[in-house]
Amino acid sequence: DAGVTQSPTHLIKTRGQQVTLRCSPKSGHDTVSWYQQALGQGPQFIFQYYEEEERQRGNFPDRFSGHQFPNYSSELNVNALLLGDSALYLCASSPGSDTQYFGPGTRLTVL
Amino acid sequence: KQEVTQIPAALSVPEGENLVLNCSFTDSAIYNLQWFRQDPGKGLTSLLLIQSSQREQTSGRLNASLDKSSGRSTLYIAASQPGDSATYLCAQTDSWGKLQFGAGTQVVVTP
């Protein structure tokens, strides 16, 4: 059983560009959450998707948007990139509110 | 504002010594508390999940306690090994699985 997978592993963009990150949850997990982790800090909650709807959202601007597909996979989109968006982006999946399983993350660098 | 605090921020111990990591949270209505391990530049690995109705959970050399009345959780790692070197994060969970993290404790176990 494959765990949570994320793509790409690394990404370099310039300010103002747009980026799409992808996540495939563990088999049977219907809830996908996205987190942003800046260097030396704990992950910060961006949003959570359940049944293709955004169920909860953290304190992030509208430049951050997402989508969940019928197979429960998910995308995170960030528009008009800023230098401060450079971080490790983590995807987590779970069968509801039970143990969260994280993917390896996508390292985004904005120049 | 709900917060999760981890003290100390960093810890260095000789191999064989027991590790004690502390986590404080302000939400008395906590749903679950989860401990994670993170290796440099990697995703998070779930170690233990304690439900709000539980007082502790154990897995091998790891034991985590939860005291809701004082807003504290402690992770004990017995007989530490160099392979235990990592950053340890605690997170409180709401009923939908949203995680709120502390900044983590960076642990170094020296041979």
Asked if the model's pLDDT at residue A2 lies above 80, the reply is no
Chain B residues inside the 8 Å CB shell of A29: none
Question: What's the confidence (pLDDT) of residue A85?
Answer: 98
* Mean residue pLDDT across chain A: 94
Query: CA–CA separation, B39 vs B22, rounded Å?
Result: 19
Q: Please name which of B91, B33, B39, B25 lies closest in space to residue B57, comparing C-alpha atoms.
A: B33
Asked if the model's pLDDT at residue B80 lies above 70, the reply is yes
Q: Would you call the peptide bond into A70 cis, given omega within 30 degrees of 0 as the criterion?
A: no
Q: Please name which of A2, A17, A4, A32 lies closest in space to residue A108, comparing C-alpha atoms.
A: A17
Contacts of range B26-30, beta carbons closer than 8 Å, 24 or more positions apart: B26/B1, B26/B2, B26/B71, B27/B2, B27/B71, B27/B92, B27/B100, B28/B68, B28/B69, B28/B71, B30/B68, B30/B92, B30/B93
Question: What's the confidence (pLDDT) of residue A55?
Answer: 93
> pLDDT: is A111 or B2 the higher one?
A111
pLDDT range class, residue B1, cuts 50, 70, 90: low
Question: What's the confidence (pLDDT) of residue B47?
Answer: 95
Chain B residues inside the 8 Å CB shell of A44: 101
Question: What's the confidence (pLDDT) of residue B2?
Answer: 66
Asked if A19 contacts A2 with a C-beta cutoff of 8 angstroms, the reply is: no
The predicted model gives B45-70 an average pLDDT of 94
Q: Please name which of A103, A93, A87, A107 lies closest in space to residue A27, comparing C-alpha atoms.
A: A93
Optimal mutation site among B4, B46, B98, B105, interface A, most CBs of chain A within 10 A: B98
The predicted model gives B60-81 an average pLDDT of 95
> pLDDT: is A98 or B54 the higher one?
B54
User: Which chain B residue lies closest to A31 (C-alpha atoms)?
Assistant: B97
Residue A26 exposed, middle or buried by CB count within 10 Å (0-12, 13-18, 19+): middle
CB contact under 8 A, B46 and A90: no
The predicted model gives A7-16 an average pLDDT of 97
Question: What's the confidence (pLDDT) of residue B97?
Answer: 85
Cα atoms found within 13 Å of the Cα of residue A50, Cβ hemisphere only: 12
The predicted model gives A61-76 an average pLDDT of 97
* Mean residue pLDDT across chain B: 93
pLDDT range class, residue B94, cuts 50, 70, 90: confident
CB contact under 8 A, A105 and B104: no
